[in-house]
Structure 1
């Protein structure tokens, strides 16, 4: 509501510039026919803002609000008391520069900064992933080279001691046999941990090869026919060490239970993918059992707890004389 201060007279000013926060303004104008000024008529147009020419009658003020930054031209026509309009309007150029935060160069700098920050975050994440992979590889190598080798030596020495003590008592032989048995179990446990920790075995393809291969050896040694089925094209999916270890231990326990209790002739293991769910099915044609038995329920609870920790679920379907089917469902990323 204050007159704008201009460096030169408005009559010779061709262009004015306003700050972006001074986009509420008015133009006052007057025709130069003084014979009957009350009958003078006006029309105006802010080029770049008004959609059409505004007929203002004898009003001599044009008010604008919230005009966005840009380049404009204000044009005004007048007529005398006889209704004769001047052929060319009076013109005044108007410029409203944008604030610095709305300029293309500032937005470009912000975009570049965001890209650099995201790239830095991604580089940090990749570095951490590589560091974790290297740590896992070192742990797997150390377990294999040191602890597993030491356990193998214990197992070997127990056999040597047993051979060098032909006159040992039954109690001594039982102790030596127990040492050998425990060392063998410990070696198997270490081998499982090494397999789970080693990043070279993170892929679904490698895990399936390991499980199918071990199942085939285990059941053939027990005189049981084994059939394995899996997708022809296995996607390049990565499983976490916890998931791989849980899958391996659940299926290993189920396979050992089949050999010990099922009295079956054939076992089938099938693997399928349903969206983001990996499904294992282990089925035998053995004697079956009632799943609500106390001892069966305890074993199933252990499997379910192990599966739950790895975002998985276990289901067992069995009836006496009709075999048993275990289904393991694993959520994958």
Structure 2
């Protein structure tokens, strides 16, 4: 029988191993619920995977016709795998739900009794982004949001301008029509007092004239409150001075208005301006009617993050709400609540109304 000797490397096929070839691509499309198979795999961009593809398989083979089932493979997906994966005798590889991006699949093969292929099979793979991750969709959403925000801004601006026009028209109409009518009634009552001889009639005409003038004064406050051209802090302060002049100076009551740390050009929301003025208005009216004062101190301004308005007199009377109108102090409290402000009413060494709230200017 004898003894046989050999070198193992002599058993290997010394011919050069060609690179593997891609044979087909199988994709499962969840949107179509179908398994799609492609045999013509050579495309300029490689394999394109849609966002709806749940998984895909790539089949390949060595062009070896001796015993192809005994060929072995290894693969690596550049951009996804960190190292080569040994596939054994399996001639396909599967990937599930790859993230969007560009990849390159490298495949090496070795036939029985041969060497690993010197050149790799290179398969470009492009996984498309879902439509909601694409640049055009993001830009479209940004444009839609920007257009919506711009449209909303224009709508609010139009509403605001419309409201301001309505307030201007209302204040002008009230001034021209109603104020003129009340002024005419007051003048007619004064003229009739000079003509009539009956004392009772004169007294009634005098009451009508005074009522007309009071109504004109109240209406003037309302016209000022709704006029959109009077929305600055300095407009409010000017109106406060005018009211103090009208109510206090004829009664020989001096006043001091102190303004501290506030922007006079700051525009004020209409509800803020109206409620602040009517609190001040009612406080001055109560002092003029009931306080028996000779001096009034008014402070209006900011202290840190707090706005404060205080009206203090040196009188010895009782500043109270009018029994005829049923308003007065209760009206001041109601308006302070509308402003979410803290209200103090102090009857010690005179009469003090102090309103504090969050800084607005």
What TM-score comes out, normalization by structure 1 length? 0.82
Question: Are 2:61 and 1:6 equivalent residues in the alignment?
Answer: no
Q: CA RMSD in A?
A: 3.4
Partner of residue 327 from structure 1, selected from 327, 330, 354:
354
Kept in 2: contact 1:26–1:62 (CA 8 A): yes
Pairwise mapping of residues 34-113 of structure 1 onto structure 2 (< 5 A)? 42-50=73-81, 52-56=82-86, 58=88, 60=90, 61-79=92-110, 85-113=116-144
Q: Cα distance, 1:70 vs. partner?
A: 2.4
Measured in 2, the distance between the counterparts of 1:53 and 1:28 equals 20
Q: Alpha-carbon deviation of 1:22?
A: 0.8
- 8 Å CA contact 1:192–1:245 kept in 2: the answer is no
1:268-325 deviation digits (Å, cap 9, x = unpaired): 111123677542111223337699xx9xx98433321233245444321222xx2232
Instruction: Tell me the equivalent position of 1:168.
Output: 198
Number of residues of Structure 1 aligned to a counterpart in Structure 2: 322
Q: Distance in 1 between matches of 2:295 and 2:113?
A: 112
Larger Rg: 2
- Give 3-state SS (helix, strand or coil) of 1:149's partner: helix
5+ residue gaps, structure 2, are: 1-25, 28-34
**Between structures 1 and 2, the one with greater helix share:** 1
Residue 187 of structure 1 and its aligned partner are, at CA, apart by 0.3
Q: In the alignment, is the contact (CA less than 8 A) between 1:70 and 1:98 conserved in 2?
A: yes
Q: CA deviation at 1:47?
A: 1.9
Aligned partners of 1:198 and 1:13: how far apart in 2?
Answer: 74
C-alpha distance in structure 2 between counterparts of 1:59 and 1:280, whole Å: 91
- Aligned residue for 1:123, secondary structure, equals helix
Q: Map Cα deviations across residues 191-225 of structure 1 (whole Å, 9 max, x no partner).
A: 01110111001222211221134325533333233
Question: Quick check: 13-22 or 135-144, which moved more?
Answer: 13-22
1:158 correspondence with 2:189: yes
Gaps of 5+ in 1: none
Structure 2-normalised TM-score?
Answer: 0.76
Between the aligned partners of 1:248 and 1:265, the Cα distance in structure 2 is 22
Aligned with 2:53: secondary structure? coil
